[in-house]
Amino acid sequence: MSGPTALSSSWLSGTVRHRRHSPAAHAFSYRTGMLALDLDEWDRFGDTSSLVSVGRFNWLSLHRRDYLDPTVPDLRQAVADRVEAATGWRPDGPVELITHPRHFGYVFNPVSFYFCYRAGDQPSQGAVPAVILAQITNTPWHERHVYCLDVGDDILSTSQGWQTVKAGFSKRFHVSPFNPMNQTYQWTFSFRGPELRIHMNVNRPAENGQTESRVFDATLVVRRTPVTRKTIHSSLRRFPVESFKVVAGIYWHALRLRLKGVPFHTHPDKLPHDHPQRGLGRDDRGLELVSADQSEHQSAGTTPTRISSWRT
């Protein structure tokens, strides 16, 4: 790759899979393409093609207000401020945004990730972020919430060359009307060279004599390629209206779940004032969550990933 517009950012191509296990079985998967943008290259992204813009309408575009703390003009600064407030460490290496850009002026990202690396780390070579921010937007309310994962030394290396980070914690944000608040997460991030895997289990906690059980899981499996004019044009031919496909899929599968009898769950802000889950997570401003696998780390002598919860 050569020329003045060469970027270190990546285009991610792969698959998304969703599987619901209860109270009704439902599963689907689809091919996808998305962006892993080095935030130092935010302004240069629009130079890659005449079909791409930053801050104005185009086939593919980025807009500052779609992302973390939009009142802060510079997104990298906003991410660094949030990470420093959560962990005491200010990112000194690359900061990557994993997201769908707008297509024809529209986007809905159920989750965008910010991978914060140490100085000298190379994301395209499979480096593991020191901190991961997950910015979640719910449906249909379009509220935003952030979980901050401070990885520390909580990295598992496998014989297949994967480097994996796991984090288990209690849910603090009402993501979907089909999932109640009384659930726990188990997130797994795996890195190997240009390959990236993100997997999330949603579990019903053990209670009333019942064991913990999986309700839902989602998996993203993608591979990096350099962001170039050729890469972008190829992706636009394959995924010309990806942002519209994402939101259309959400409502299509919501209809199918309703037809299968999956019930709605009330938003915590709409619960009765005396309900114990009323407003759950609404006032989180860095609430530290207890790792679900704390005991495993204590026995192994390692530090678990620290998780904090932020309503934005």
Give residue-wise pLDDT tens across range 75-131: 999 999 999 999 999 999 999 999 999 999 999 999 999 999 999 999 999 999 999
CB distance 220 to 14 below 8 Å: yes
Residue 46 three-state SS? helix
Considering only 151-165, 216-230, 283-297, which range has the smallest mean pLDDT? 283-297
Share of the chain above pLDDT 90, in %: 90
CB distance 243 to 99 below 8 Å: no
Mean pLDDT of 279-294: 88
| Total Cβ atoms within 10 A of residue 305 | 25
The pLDDT of residue 295 is above 60: no
Work out the angle at residue 201's Cα, subtended by the Cα atoms of residues 252 and 138, and round it to the nearest 5 degrees. 45
Mean pLDDT of 141-161: 94
The pTM of the full predicted model, rounded to 2 decimals, is 0.94
The reply to whether omega before 276 is within 30° of 0 (cis) is no
Q: What pLDDT is stored for residue 1 in this prediction?
A: 42
- The residue type of 93 is G
Q: What pLDDT is stored for residue 6 in this prediction?
A: 81
Element (H, E) at 300: helix 294-300
Q: What pLDDT is stored for residue 16 in this prediction?
A: 98
CB distance 93 to 120 below 8 Å: yes
